Structure 1
Amino acid sequence: MDRIVRAAAELLKTDLYDPVDLGGSRRSTVLRCRTGDGGSVIVKSYAAEREGLRSFTSEAAGLSLGLAGPRLLGADPAARLVVMADLGTAPTLADVLLGDDPAAAADGLLAWARGLGRLAARSAGRRADLARLRARYDLGVPSWEDEPWIGQRMSGLLAWLEAARISVPYGLADELSAIRETVEREYPAFTPGDTCPDNNLLTPDGLRLLDFEAAGFQSVFLTAAYCRMPFSTCWCVYRLPAGMAAEVERAFRAEVVPAFPDLADDAVWQAGTARAVAVWTVDVTAALLARVLDEDGPMHPTRRPVPTIRQVLRHRWETASGLEEFPALVRTTRLLLDAFAATWAAPPLPVYPAFDR
């Protein structure tokens, strides 16, 4: 911690005091430090391994783009260090969804959807700008935008099914390949990368986004799917009340249509979002299933309440089993439901605590 504070103070050319560890992850350490004028800044230091290097470059470039997030105060590639403005201690979207106020939770969801939609719209035409900023902070690891992660997850799922001696439905590989090829080229928009509930502050001045470690451009539908599923890659996953997911999705869509007029066409929208739901279903299955074959576990190591991994997988497979556009994937999810969910005894995913009144 002392080393990080000294490097940040040198970067800012000012003294920093009283660091408080805000957690972070295996990729990064996050500190809040006092400044000499009575204010505070957030200091983020990244690990000297592949994901740490990738995260530094993405965060420094993403914040430098200036479309969202806290103001970047300094970034040092040699020290793998970013210093940013402190947005304070406002509640996160996760806090209100796990709380007891349904109105606050609904307002927070709509603010989140509109904020992400406006960000996507504002980013149109800025992809080359982000690429130039990424080159400035490059530490030699491809961004998630350049990493073929969708194809890797799909290949991983196919390999796992074969290793588990689960009959791979005819046409699944071709179906997944067609989905990937379309998603990777359609309607690119900027995203911080991890738009989960705990990375969204609900401040008096509106929604503020945190965590740009995976910032980049991706299909706008991959963000739209976060509204529908909800929260495709997150730990804070419960069901939304009837009609709420559709309302949140409409709020997001209304903000992006001015920048992407084709998305006003219901057929275009529904097809694109279905592809994104398929991508995220494959992603979560490939990432989590092997971890809970023998024993279930919570989606987060410390936060409570939280669903179990098996509950979330069951919910994802049940959702994807309705994607009639992709019959091979539907057969796959039904095979997984029969092979695992039927014997797990994992209860259905409940609604978010804020709405369970």
Structure 2
Amino acid sequence: MGDMTVITESRITSVVRAAEALLSHRAGSAVVLDDPEDLGGSGRTTVVRVRVAQNPLSLDRSLVIKALPEHEDPQAFHREIASYKYATALPNESRPGPQLIASDSDLRIMVLSDLGHGRTMLEYLAGVDPVETSRAVSAWGQALGRMHAATVGGEGDFLALLRRGPSGTQGRDILRDEALRSIDSVVGHTAALDVVVPDQVVESLRAAATLFDEGDHRAFSPSDVGPENILLNDDGVQFMDYEWGGFRDATLDIAYALVTITAQLPPRTSARATDLEVSMVDAWRSEVHSIWPALAHEREMQRKVLLARQLWVWLSTVWMLPSDPEATDHADAEFDVADFGAAGFTHDWALHTNDPRVIVSRWTDLAAAAGRAGDDEIAVFATAMGVALQRIWLA
């Protein structure tokens, strides 16, 4: 454990020194950074808050440095830099998160404005005050809608920023790739689970996957808009992670938020999940209905969000299943919990979980949402999936 601590401290020190050099070069005179505070990160990422001790640039009193390993595939870094540059250029009231101060592509390092301490959405969802939680969720929905409304029509500008990166870093959307891969396994996995999947459900999953590349409601998305990446501070709601950001149909974002809310609710408040979902969707729609008037129609709104939600529930389930669908057949064998996550997905998304209870709950919630939207096929399929997964994972 001592060696691990030394390595971590050494990495933090090297990241801080690199940021100092980057800012000093930009200023033309020395910038000194002090009092590094390790903010964690997603494992491979180093995130550090620092105090600006010597400041010729009139920088904020504190900054955040984010660094990826130098050997990392540059694709994620350049997509994140393009996302920060794009978002930084937005008006203050529509800017979804921190500003990009400086970056170095060779060192895989970026310096960001410090959002401060605030409270994460996880804290609000786990809280005991239902009014406070509801207000936070509504604020989350409104911020998402403001960002979407402010970025409609901006895809060309974002793609121009992406093209400034190394050749080959422009097109990949890792969640899109994962979604398409997961849909290819629908027939195999459902057969192994002894669940009948209607053709309409497969078609709707494929239709949902096209929302990454087209759709009627295209806007900028940070990509992972789950509660872990939402901070509420004095300036309002902030989105903290732009890795794999890009343009897609905005209903994918609101559906992603809905799917990732309920796992964070304590059992005593889980019965309020539907009320929180309604609060979030209504708050989001209040910000976007003027540019997308079709969403003012309740049934149309529910149908479109349901389409995207089904895809996220399916994808998070596939991440929990063995890569080989035939290995999912447990009718005559005990299920080994060690098989969870056997598909090998390693990215740290809010959507990803290794808790089978969360997945079963997502299918139950999807069935309820499909019922409210009047989609009987998805409702019946979602119920059957929940029952099948309950049987092999939790019985």
Q: Confirm whether residue 11 of structure 1 aligns to residue 22 of structure 2.
A: yes
Paired residues for 1:1-357 under 5 Å: 1=11, 2-13=13-24, 14-37=31-54, 39-48=61-70, 53-65=74-86, 66=88, 67-138=95-166, 140-141=168-169, 142-144=171-173, 147-161=176-190, 164=192, 166=194, 169-171=197-199, 172-181=201-210, 184-186=213-215, 187-231=217-261, 236=264, 239=270, 241=272, 242-290=274-322, 293-295=335-337, 309-322=355-368, 323=370, 330=379, 332-342=381-391, 344-345=393-394
Q: Work out the CA distance in 2 between the residues paired with 1:43 and 1:62.
A: 16
Secondary structure at the residue paired with 1:333? helix
* Distance (whole Å) between structure 2 residues aligned to residue 327 and residue 80 of structure 1: 48
Q: Is the 8 A contact 1:77 1:139 kept in 2?
A: no
Once the two structures are superposed, what CA deviation does each residue of 1:46-92 show, in whole Å capped at 9, x if it has no partner? 13566x63331222111111232111111111111111011111111
Cα deviation, residue 263, structure 1: 1.8
Cα distance in 1, alignment partners of residues 23 and 102 from structure 2: 7
Contiguous gaps of at least 5 residues in structure 1: 299-306, 347-357
- For the 8 Å contact 2:80–2:244, the answer to whether it is kept is yes
Separation in 1, partners of 2:166, 2:377 = 40
Cα distance in 1 between the residues matched to 2:365 and 2:228: 23
User: What is the distance in 2 between the residues matched to 1:315 and 1:5?
Assistant: 43
1:114-152: CA deviations, max 9, x gaps? 011100000011111111112223474444279544312
Aligned length: 334
Equivalent residues of 2:357, 2:394 under 8 A apart: no
Question: How far 1:170 sits from its partner (Å)?
Answer: 4.8
Q: 1:205 and 1:268, CA in 2 relative to 1: closer, same or farther beyond 3 A?
A: same
Q: Secondary structure of 1:36's partner?
A: strand
Please report the TM-score for the alignment, with normalisation by the length of structure 1: 0.82
Amino acid of the structure 1 residue aligned with 2:68: Y
Structure with the largest fraction of helix: 2
Counterparts of 2:190 and 2:363 in 1: how far apart (Å)? 15
Q: Which has the higher contact order (CA 8 A, sep 6+)?
A: 1
**DSSP-derived class of the 1:269 partner:** helix
**Where does residue 304 of structure 1 map in the other structure?**
none
State how far apart, in whole Å, the 1-side matches of 2:152 and 2:245 are.
15
The answer as to whether partners of 1:62 and 1:130 remain within 8 angstroms in 2 is yes
Cα root mean square deviation, aligned? 3.1
CA separation in 1, counterparts of 2:38 and 2:167? Answer: 25
In structure 2, do the counterparts of structure 1 residues 188 and 149 end up closer, same or farther at CA, with 3 Å as the change threshold?
Answer: farther
Q: State which drifts further: 113-122 or 13-22.
A: 13-22
| TM superposition shift of 1:10 | 1.4
What are the superposed Cα offsets for residues 89-113 of structure 1, whole Å, 9 maximum, x if unpaired? 1111111221333332222111111
CA, structure 1 residues 140+19, in 2 after alignment: closer, same or farther (shift >3 Å)? farther
Q: For residues 198 and 275 of structure 1, do their structure 2 counterparts lie closer, same or farther at Cα, with a shift above 3 Å needed?
A: same
How many angstroms apart in 2 are the aligned matches of 1:75 and 1:182? 31
Contact 2:205 2:307 in 1 (8 A): no
Structure 1 residues 179 and 226, CA gap change in structure 2 (3 angstroms): closer
2:358, 2:222 → 1: CA distance?
23
Instruction: Judge conservation of contact 1:46–1:55 (CA < 8 Å) in 2.
Output: no
Partners of 1:107 and 1:180 in 2: how far apart?
31
Identity in percent: 27
Report the alpha carbon displacement of residue 175 of structure 1 after superposing the two structures with TM. Answer: 4.2
Q: Tell me the TM-score normalized by structure 2.
A: 0.75
